[in-house]
Structure 1
Amino acid sequence: MTKWLFLFVSLAFSAMSIAKEKTIDLNKFAQEYFEKMVATQSPNATAKELEVYLALLKEDVGHSHLPWETDDARLPDGKQAMRKGMTFYLGAHTHYQAELLDVFTFNQSAVAIRYKNDAKGIHPQNNQAIAYSQVMMEVLEIEDGKVAVIRKYHE
C-alpha cells in the first residue's frame, strides 16, 4: 500500500511540475533576440555585445545561413563555433541598420523574425568593401527558453 501511495504522489508531483513549466512570451523573446543580434552587427560592437547575444542560445545550437552554411546540425560546440565565426566578423561594418518587419510565433516551439538590413563595411578576410541591403527571415527553434536552431533565409 505504501508503495502505491508513494507512486501516486510521485506521479502527481511530476504532472504538476510539467504543468508549471515556464512558458515564454515569444513575441517579447523575438524582440529581445532581434535587438541583441543587431547590436552584434554595429560598427562599435565588442565581445560584450556578442556574449549578450550568445546567452540567448543553447550550447549545442544549430545554425544554417543559406547558401553559405547549409548544415544546421546541433553539435556540442555549436555556440562556441558561432562565437568563433561571429568574432571574426565583429566590427567589420562601418554602417549597419536593421528594421524588424514581422514576427511569427508557433506555439512555444518556434518564432520567425523577418527584417530588413542595410550594411556597409570592409570584409575582414580580403579587405574588400562590402555593401548590401536585404530582407532576411530567421526561423528560431526554441527549447527550454533558449534558441536551439537558427535558420536564416534571404528574400
Structure 2
Amino acid sequence: MKWLLLISLVMLFPPKLLANESSIDLNAFAKLYFDKMVATQMPNATKNELDEYLDLLSNDVGHSHLPWDVDDTRYPDGKEAKRKGMTFYLGAHTEYKAELLNVFIFNQSAIAIRYKHHAKGVHPQNNQSIEYTRTMMEVLEMEGGKVAVIRKYHE
C-alpha cells in the first residue's frame, strides 16, 4: 500500500517539481552573465548596464578575486557592496574587449566561464594609466537561479 501511495505522489508531483531549485539552462545563463559583465566594463558603461548585471546576482552574493580579494563571505548587503565597488570603476576603461573561451556546467549548482580580456584606461583611484590582457576563470555558484558566489582566478 505504501508503494502505491508513493508511486501516485511521484506521478502527481514529478521529482523535478519537488526540487528546491528550478532548472534553468545554465549554458544560456553563462553566456548572458558574460555579456552583462562585459557590458559593465565598456568605456560607455552606465548604471543601467551595471543594474542589468547585478540583476543576475543574489542579494547576499559573495565575491572573491584572488589574490586581491580573498573573502567570499555572503553578507546580506553583498549585492549593494558589489554595486558600490563596481560604480567606482564604471567608465574607467577607454578600451575593452573580451572573448568567451569556455563554459563548464556542473549540474545545476555551478558554472565556470573562462575568457580572455584586454583593458586600457585610467585607474580612478590613482589616475595612473592601466593596460592589461589576462585570461580569467570565474566560478559562479548558483542558488535559486541567481549567482550566489563568484570566484575569480587568473591564468
Question: TM-score, length-normalised on structure 2?
Answer: 0.89
2:56 is matched with 56
Give, in whole Å, the separation in 2 of the partners of 1:66 and 1:40: 20
Question: How far has the Cα of 1:68 moved from its partner?
Answer: 1.0
> Segments of 4+ in structure 1 off by > 2 A?
15-19
Q: Give the alignment of 1:116-131 within 5 angstroms.
A: 116-131=116-131
Give, in whole Å, the separation in 2 of the partners of 1:83 and 1:90: 10
Give, in whole Å, the separation in 2 of the partners of 1:46 and 1:131: 21
2:38 is matched with 38
1:16 is matched with 13
Residue segments in structure 2 that go unaligned for 5+ positions in a row: none
Partner of 1:24, secondary structure, is coil
Question: TM-score, length-normalised on structure 1?
Answer: 0.89
Residue segments in structure 1 that go unaligned for 5+ positions in a row: 1-7
Give, in whole Å, the separation in 2 of the partners of 1:29 and 1:16: 26
Give, in whole Å, the separation in 1 of the partners of 2:107 and 2:65: 24
Give, in whole Å, the separation in 1 of the partners of 2:27 and 2:92: 30
1:89 is matched with 89
- Equivalent pairs counted in the alignment come to 145
2:110 is matched with 110
Amino acid at match of 2:91: G
